[in-house]
Every structure is written in structure tokens, then in C-alpha cells.
């Protein structure tokens, strides 16, 4: 049966602030834990006025203290921004605080642009090309490899499963070669999803962490008790994407009636592409769409993002999504 998890970008709302965004993150994590979601992940983004998860490990500590069972993790840490030792120490600390609950997804993008990458004070000479080496160095720190000459404390000996993230074929190839679980960002970059999953499963090599391939895919859900409300709720994310792609990112906007009717054809085409892996509607709509997506991809897990302006409507959307998933499981086991 396909499990559901949550990706929360900790949106900073128009008319609100970072403190409220972090409060909403803890509230949402408690809610989805009670609903039975497998994981709560957040992601590293920098220089983004509408995203409050830049200090990802700190946000995860906040969420970890607000919950008791759900796995918490990064989806992901952009490793080119950081020394592997620093990430081993941060996530080793999280694992000591929340034993058996911490995941570490790794990406090779900067999480913003080159100005941010320079501001992170990392050596940009190798850039993303150093990513495989950095992943293996991070593995060595967690393993307490004596060849490093010292022990990462915290970090060494902690159980922190690593994941490789991606939106292209590169991540699939690396995850397969290293024998790690793989998460594809189909919630905003769906074009290479099917080919990436095929490559990952075909080329997977068992490792000490994972004996068989394990794939997760991102999925947008905007669910409500009627289709009209769901369509309205989705306009916040649609506005956010249009602003981002036109170079004007900002805080997360409230929904707008008939938003799509105001857009030129090129913007409509862009949204159709980037948000094609989405379900907008009622529980019945979500159940139908998830069933088709699972049949298409055969993924082991779906990580749901439900970027909705109102926190109560966001929580309701996640509740409807889980009800749809449970209905699918009942049907599969009947």
C-alpha cells in the first residue's frame, strides 16, 4: 500500500510574519501526525520572502518538539551550500533529540540563485559536481569512519536515513548507484518523472541502508468539501508560481476568485506544466486522481503538498487527502 507523507514549505502569508508561519508549521505537523501521515518534511530555500524554512534543522527541532511519533526530515537540505560535517552535526543532534524519527533528504541545487550561493560562503569551484562526493562524505561521518581522522559529535553512530532528491535524471542515477531511497519533485517539475523512476529501479544497487529500491513522488492536493472551494484555494499556489517564474516572488498570497481567467496564454501553459501532478476537488476527485497516479508510477510513497493560504483550510485539505488514501487502501485489500 502506498503511504502518504507531507511536504510543508512553511509559507509566510501576505499580511502575516515568520513567527506565525512557524506556529502554523507546528500546528500542521501535530494535525497530520494525528491523521496518520508517515513523515513531515520541510525544505531549504534562501532569499524567498514567502518561505520560512531556510534554517531547516532549526525548524525541524521546533516541529519535533510539537509532535511525538511522525518522522521529521528535510526534503531537502541543499548539500552544495554546506560542509558535510556541519550537516552531520545538525542532523545528528536532531536524531539524538528525536530518536528513530529523523530523515535527511539531499539535493544538489542551491535552493535559490548564485547570489545566495555566494552569500552562503561556500567554495563554488566544484559546485553541484561535488555532490556525490559530499553525499559519501556525509555517510562516512554518520558511520564514524576512522579514515576521517576524527569523530563527528553529534552525528557518528546516529540512525539518520539518507535520501536523494531530484527533478531530473541525475538524482535517479545517483540514488540507484548509492542504493538510497529516491524522492522525485513531481509536485513542481513533473516532466522527467516516469523516466527517472524507470532509471532508478533498473539501475538500483542494494546497500547497507536499503536492499530494494524505494521511490517517493511529490503531489499537490487542493481539497475541500466542494469543487468550487477547492479551485479557489488552489489560486494561492497558482499566483505564487506565476510570480516566481516572472521574477517577482513574495509572501504567499490569499486566494483570488477567477484568477485563471486573468492570465495570458503563456502563463496558463506554464501552470498547466508545473502543476500537472495535482488534484483539485473533493475527496472523490482526490481518490480518483491518486488511484491513477499510483497505477502510473507504482511509487512506494507519495509526499503531499497542500499550499493553501488559510491554515484551517490547509489542515482540512490534508484530512480529505488522507481519507481518500484510506478509501483506496480499503479497496485494494478488499
In a domain, 313, yes or no: yes
Identify the pLDDT of residue 117.
Answer: 72
Q: Cell match 508510477: residue? A: 297
| Contact by Cβ (8 Å): 230, 282 | yes
Name residue 71's beta-bridge partners: 39
Measured in residues, the chain has a length of 334
**DSSP letter assigned to residue 184:** E
Identify the pLDDT of residue 120.
Answer: 76
pLDDT band, very low/low/confident/very high, at 119 (cuts 50, 70, 90):
confident
In a domain, 272, yes or no: yes
In a domain, 285, yes or no: yes
pLDDT band, very low/low/confident/very high, at 77 (cuts 50, 70, 90):
very high
Identify the pLDDT of residue 317.
Answer: 98
Q: Omega of the bond prior to 154 within 30 degrees of 0, cis?
A: yes
Q: What is the pLDDT of residues 200-227, one digit of tens each?
A: 999 999 999 999 999 999 999 999 999 9
Domain range spanning residue 287?
219-295+309-334
| Contact by Cβ (8 Å): 280, 255 | no
Cα–Cα distance measured from residue 40 to residue 25, given in angstroms and rounded to the nearest whole number: 10
Cα–Cα distance measured from residue 255 to residue 262, given in angstroms and rounded to the nearest whole number: 13
Identify the pLDDT of residue 111.
Answer: 55
3-state SS class at 302: strand
Q: What is the pLDDT of residues 271-312, one digit of tens each?
A: 999 999 999 999 999 999 999 999 999 999 999 999 999 999
Mean pLDDT of the chain: 95
The pair phi, psi for residue 305, each rounded to 5°, is -115, 135
Mean pLDDT for 104-119 is 79
Q: Omega of the bond prior to 76 within 30 degrees of 0, cis?
A: yes
Identify the pLDDT of residue 257.
Answer: 97
Cα–Cα distance measured from residue 331 to residue 334, given in angstroms and rounded to the nearest whole number: 5
254's CB contacts (< 8 A; 6+ apart) are 13, 14, 15, 236, 309
| Contact by Cβ (8 Å): 216, 303 | yes
Instruction: Indicate the number of domains in the chain.
Output: 1
In a domain, 260, yes or no: yes
Sign of the C-alpha dihedral, residues 112, 113, 116, 121? positive
pLDDT at 126 over 60: no
pLDDT at 178 over 90: yes
pLDDT at 128 over 60: no
In a domain, 46, yes or no: no
In a domain, 51, yes or no: no
In a domain, 100, yes or no: no
Q: What is the pLDDT of residues 213-272, one digit of tens each?
A: 999 999 999 999 999 999 999 999 999 999 999 989 999 999 999 999 999 999 999 999
In a domain, 71, yes or no: no
Amino acid at each position: 500500500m502506498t503511504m502518504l507523507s507531507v511536504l510543508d514549505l512553511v509559507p509566510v502569508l501576505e499580511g502575516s510574519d515568520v513567527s506565525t508561519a512557524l506556529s502554523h508549521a507546528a500546528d500542521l505537523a501535530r494535525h497530520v501526525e494525528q491523521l496518520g501521515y508517515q513523515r513531515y518534511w520541510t525544505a531549504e530555500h534562501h532569499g524567498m520572502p514567502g518561505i520560512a524554512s531556510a534554517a531547516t534543522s532549526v525548524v525541524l527541532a521546533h516541529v519535533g518538539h510539537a509532535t511525538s511519533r511522525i518522522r521529521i526530515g528535510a526534503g531537502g537540505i541543499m548539500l552544495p551550500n554546506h560542509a558535510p560535517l556541519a550537516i552531520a552535526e545538525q542532523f545528528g543532534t536532531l536524531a539524538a533529540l528525536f530518536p528513530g524519527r529523523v530523515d535527511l533528504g539531499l539535493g544538489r541545487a542551491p535552493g535559490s540563485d548564485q547570489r545566495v550561493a555566494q552569500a552562503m560562503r561556500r567554495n563554488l569551484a566544484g559546485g553541484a559536481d561535488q555532490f556525490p562526493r559530499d553525499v559519501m562524505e556525509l555517510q562516512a561521518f554518520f558511520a564514524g569512519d576512522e579514515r576521517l581522522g576524527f569523530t563527528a559529535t553529534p552525528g557518528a553512530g546516529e540512525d539518520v536515513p539518507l535520501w536523494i532528491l531530484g527533478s531530473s535524471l541525475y538524482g535517479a542515477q545517483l540514488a540507484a548507484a548509492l542504493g538510497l531511497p529516491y524522492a522525485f519533485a513531481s509536485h513542481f517539475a513533473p516532466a522527467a518523472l516516469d523516466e527517472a523512476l524507470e532509471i532508478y529501479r533498473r539501475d538500483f544497487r542494494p546497500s547497507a541502508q536499503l536492499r530494494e529500491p524505494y521511490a517517493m513522488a511529490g503531489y499537490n492536493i487542493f481539497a475541500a468539501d466542494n469543487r468550487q472551494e477547492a479551485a479557489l484555494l488552489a489560486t494561492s499556489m497558482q499566483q505564487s508560481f506565476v510570480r516566481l517564474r516572472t521574477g517577482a516572488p513574495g509572501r504567499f498570497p490569499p486566494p483570488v476568485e477567477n484568477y485563471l481567467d486573468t492570465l495570458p496564454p503563456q502563463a496558463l501553459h506554464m501552470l498547466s506544466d508545473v502543476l500537472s501532478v495535482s488534484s483539485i476537488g473533493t475527496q472523490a476527485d482526490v481518490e480518483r486522481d491518486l488511484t491513477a497516479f499510483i497505477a502510473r508510477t507504482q511509487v512506494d510513497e507519495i509526499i503531499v503538498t497542500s499550499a493553501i493560504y488559510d491554515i484551517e483550510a490547509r489542515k482540512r485539505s490534508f484530512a480529505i487527502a488522507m481519507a481518500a488514501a484510506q478509501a483506496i487502501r480499503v479497496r485494494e485489500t478488499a
